[in-house]
A and B are shown apart, each in its own frame.
Chain A
């Protein structure tokens, strides 16, 4: 019986943690192996745990493709705005059936010594701001915290904001004192990190859905018996189904909790019409992605679009 180690970027009770716990439960029920879980920060930052998975210290790691961009530039496709649908069912089908995800990405990960096990959505990204947002005009001069990623910077620049990279630990304080006036994240994260305490408005612009990926160290995975590989992939499938169910309603639940904790919070879903000016900026970001997205950027983007059309046609 072996001990497998699995690190992820979020806390135990956030989405990645829930996925990991389900995976652990399944593996331990169906084999004599144990899985140790290492939540956010306990073994270093996102890039650190990724490297540890590459070097085989960790057997499993969860890293969001946006962070993987430094290694696999194509993975940044998930930051192209208005690419993924917001409809949860469509999204789940897309992740299950997409040729880009299931056929084009795995070899890219293998080049980095990683076995891509699955990708799954973590929820619609929303803006939380100190002033209401109805359109790009309202973001004019707003200092908006984004992760240090060129495509996110490009997106928010295109939206008219002043993208301001800040380390995550400083975001709460910076919103409170007013250095920045906005940040973006999925609803569960806005709730769990208490971002709503220091902002007054949540705006659903529908520009993105936060995606994450679970990987195994390639040598480790290939060294497993066929039986063990089946245990792993069954556990991943079970955790995938679990997390899709878990997320059904999670966004609404999180928003309700926020509303309960702070009744004055406004939550606005922009109409298709209101989203139009935001959507018009997507082309710019897409161009940027094609420039910095690596050799297969075009292929991946086209395939993802084709996959999405197929999902649309199927439903």
Chain B
């Protein structure tokens, strides 16, 4: 059954069916063969609805909305002008700033999809204007957003911590090392990319120009204050911070800058709704598909056949990495963690592996998988938001995936990348 399901899904996807159809078809085949007919398809509907309902997903439309208002108005450009005033003259400066902004925003907002929209939305046009190739820009945005999984607060780590009984504080700290390492690698790559394709730099700004840029950006600098200050300061949950940004963006663009009228507000809200819908139906269909995988106990069968019980520590870590990577290519990361962690738990335990290290490796794989075709959730978010073809969104991905996998392998052989900070912080 698994072969038929995955085969059908890939064929439908490649033929150009709307992406919800491969996911729906995969679930349909699953439901029909599991329950011997169409009798339980209402549970498939239940799962689709269950997939789009979680309260924590509300941050996604809210950040889409805020970013759309900022981009149509002046806020986004004023913020980017500020960044450019300081790094515009550096080779790859804009790309490195984009990667850093995605990492930071993703870390704080807790949602990689929101990051793709909120940071990628305003920055992509500027990067294109600066002369970067679109595939590079898209891949940079999607992959840098995924670093967010590793940097606290991370929902993935919280779920892992709860399911495996591992200290969440330790996980949070262990994620920082690999997260920063990846950001550094992306930055170095961006620098060499800009050099290789000779992306032009802007003239270095004078200090008076910089002061001017700061002044122009004073109002929009309220956004980072709301998001970082609001969330880390314990005033907002990420979802609430997103809604607060919407409110602030509306005040700036409609009252302060007078850039937006009610008609444009309506158009922006509608466009946000449309993007939300095409992304969320995929999230819902993906949830129905996850249900089939989980109900049929496909991971248990596959892993049982491989024989994880008799493996050495390195083999176990590699198997875990591959299992999570493949899982997240098809299924929502949270569900993958919920299903796979209990399956691996006894093996991890008996091999005496550090659960914090395992958690960090899993979180990294989840991040990679979410940015990886065919069904990585950040890929379809990017397609919906940037209205670029699927092939173009994924074309620039390979170098990033290679860097991420390099870090994943490094992490297995040099666990100190993750555990160094943890040991420092939790030293007896």
Q: Closest Cβ of chain A: how far from B251's Cβ, in Å? A: 23
The CA of A205 and the CA of B92, in the complex, are separated in Å by 59
Interface flags for A7-19 (1: CB within 8 Å of B; 0: not) read 0000111000000
Identify which of residues 2-51 in chain A touch chain B, using a CB-to-CB cut-off of 8 Å: 5, 11-13, 36, 38-45, 48, 51
A140 at interface (Cβ–Cβ under 8 A)?
Answer: no
B155 at interface (Cβ–Cβ under 8 A)?
Answer: yes
| Segment at the interface with A among B65-73, B81-89, B164-172, B187-195 | B164-172
B-chain residues with CB within 8 Å of residue A176 when the two chains form the complex: 153
Is the CB–CB distance between B47 and A48 below 8 Å? yes
- Which of B40, B167, B237, B294 lies at the interface centre, i.e. has the most chain A CB atoms within 10 A of its CB? B237
B-chain residues with CB within 8 Å of residue A39 when the two chains form the complex: 338, 342
Is the CB–CB distance between A57 and B43 below 8 Å? yes
Q: Closest Cβ of chain A: how far from B311's Cβ, in Å? A: 21
Is the CB–CB distance between B50 and A44 below 8 Å? yes
Interface flags for B222-241 (1: CB within 8 Å of A; 0: not) read 00000000011111111000
Is the CB–CB distance between A36 and B297 below 8 Å? yes
Is the CB–CB distance between B168 and A55 below 8 Å? no
- With A169-B155, A174-B237, A177-B232 as contacts: A45 and B50 at CB distance below 8 Å: yes
The CA of A259 and the CA of B300, in the complex, are separated in Å by 36
Interface flags for B152-166 (1: CB within 8 Å of A; 0: not) read 010100110111010
Is the CB–CB distance between A194 and B169 below 8 Å? yes
Identify which of residues 135-194 in chain A touch chain B, using a CB-to-CB cut-off of 8 Å: 166-167, 169-170, 172-174, 176-179, 192-194
The CA of A297 and the CA of B164, in the complex, are separated in Å by 39
Is the CB–CB distance between A57 and B235 below 8 Å? no
A261 at interface (Cβ–Cβ under 8 A)?
Answer: yes
B46 at interface (Cβ–Cβ under 8 A)?
Answer: yes
- With A12-B342, A45-B50, A194-B168 as contacts: A55 and B42 at CB distance below 8 Å: yes
B264 at interface (Cβ–Cβ under 8 A)?
Answer: no
Tell me the nearest residue of chain A to B163, going by C-beta: A11
A197 at interface (Cβ–Cβ under 8 A)?
Answer: yes
Is the CB–CB distance between B234 and A178 below 8 Å? yes
Q: Closest Cβ of chain A: how far from B345's Cβ, in Å? A: 8
Overall SS of chain A's interface = mixed
Tell me the nearest residue of chain B to A192, going by C-beta: B165
Interface flags for B331-374 (1: CB within 8 Å of A; 0: not) read 00011001100100000000000000000000000000000000
Overall SS of chain B's interface = helix
The CA of A173 and the CA of B110, in the complex, are separated in Å by 10
Is the CB–CB distance between A40 and B231 below 8 Å? no
B-chain residues with CB within 8 Å of residue A247 when the two chains form the complex: none
A298 at interface (Cβ–Cβ under 8 A)?
Answer: no
A52 at interface (Cβ–Cβ under 8 A)?
Answer: yes
Q: Closest Cβ of chain A: how far from B261's Cβ, in Å? A: 35
Is the CB–CB distance between A192 and B40 below 8 Å? no
B-chain residues with CB within 8 Å of residue A51 when the two chains form the complex: 43, 46
B420 at interface (Cβ–Cβ under 8 A)?
Answer: no
A-chain residues with CB within 8 Å of residue B17 when the two chains form the complex: none
B-chain residues with CB within 8 Å of residue A13 when the two chains form the complex: 165
B56 at interface (Cβ–Cβ under 8 A)?
Answer: yes
The CA of A45 and the CA of B234, in the complex, are separated in Å by 27
Q: Closest Cβ of chain A: how far from B42's Cβ, in Å? A: 7
Q: Closest Cβ of chain A: how far from B52's Cβ, in Å? A: 12
Is the CB–CB distance between B234 and A179 below 8 Å? yes
The CA of A36 and the CA of B296, in the complex, are separated in Å by 10
A-chain residues with CB within 8 Å of residue B40 when the two chains form the complex: 55, 57
Tell me the nearest residue of chain A to B40, going by C-beta: A57
A-chain residues with CB within 8 Å of residue B47 when the two chains form the complex: 44, 48
Q: Closest Cβ of chain B: how far from A19's Cβ, in Å? A: 16
A-chain residues with CB within 8 Å of residue B167 when the two chains form the complex: 194, 197, 261
B-chain residues with CB within 8 Å of residue A42 when the two chains form the complex: 294, 335, 338-339
Tell me the nearest residue of chain B to A176, going by C-beta: B153
The CA of A135 and the CA of B327, in the complex, are separated in Å by 49
The CA of A179 and the CA of B238, in the complex, are separated in Å by 11
Is the CB–CB distance between B233 and A177 below 8 Å? yes
Identify which of residues 38-82 in chain A touch chain B, using a CB-to-CB cut-off of 8 Å: 38-45, 48, 51-52, 55, 57
Q: Closest Cβ of chain A: how far from B213's Cβ, in Å? A: 31
Is the CB–CB distance between B43 and A179 below 8 Å? no
Is the CB–CB distance between A194 and B161 below 8 Å? yes
Is the CB–CB distance between B168 and A197 below 8 Å? yes
Q: Closest Cβ of chain B: how far from A256's Cβ, in Å? A: 15
Q: Closest Cβ of chain B: how far from A198's Cβ, in Å? A: 8
The CA of A156 and the CA of B11, in the complex, are separated in Å by 54
A-chain residues with CB within 8 Å of residue B294 when the two chains form the complex: 38, 42-43
Which listed residue (A11, A55, A57) contacts B162, Cβ 8 A? A11
Q: Closest Cβ of chain B: how far from A2's Cβ, in Å? A: 14
The CA of A198 and the CA of B172, in the complex, are separated in Å by 13
The CA of A39 and the CA of B55, in the complex, are separated in Å by 21
Q: Closest Cβ of chain A: how far from B419's Cβ, in Å? A: 18
Is the CB–CB distance between B153 and A173 below 8 Å? yes
- With A36-B297, A166-B237 as contacts: A43 and B54 at CB distance below 8 Å: no
- With A36-B297, A41-B338, A43-B295 as contacts: A52 and B110 at CB distance below 8 Å: no
A-chain residues with CB within 8 Å of residue B43 when the two chains form the complex: 51-52, 55, 57
The CA of A174 and the CA of B239, in the complex, are separated in Å by 12
Is the CB–CB distance between B234 and A177 below 8 Å? yes
Q: Closest Cβ of chain A: how far from B388's Cβ, in Å? A: 31
B-chain residues with CB within 8 Å of residue A170 when the two chains form the complex: 55-56, 237-238
B-chain residues with CB within 8 Å of residue A173 when the two chains form the complex: 110, 153, 158, 237
Identify which of residues 192-214 in chain A touch chain B, using a CB-to-CB cut-off of 8 Å: 192-194, 197-198
Interface flags for B360-403 (1: CB within 8 Å of A; 0: not) read 00000000000000000000000000000000000000000000
Interface flags for A280-304 (1: CB within 8 Å of B; 0: not) read 0000000000000000000000000
Q: Closest Cβ of chain A: how far from B65's Cβ, in Å? A: 20
The CA of A21 and the CA of B102, in the complex, are separated in Å by 44
Is the CB–CB distance between A172 and B168 below 8 Å? yes
Q: Closest Cβ of chain A: how far from B190's Cβ, in Å? A: 30
The CA of A136 and the CA of B196, in the complex, are separated in Å by 66
- With A42-B338, A43-B291, A43-B294 as contacts: A194 and B237 at CB distance below 8 Å: no
Can you list 28 A-B contacts (CB < 8 A)? A5-B295, A11-B165, A13-B165, A39-B342, A41-B334, A41-B338, A42-B335, A42-B338, A43-B295, A44-B47, A44-B291, A45-B50, A51-B43, A55-B42, A169-B56, A170-B238, A173-B237, A177-B234, A178-B233, A178-B234, A179-B237, A192-B162, A192-B165, A194-B167, A194-B168, A197-B167, A197-B169, A261-B167
Nearest first, the 5 closest Cβ-Cβ pairs linking A and B are: A178-B234, A177-B234, A41-B338, A173-B153, A167-B55
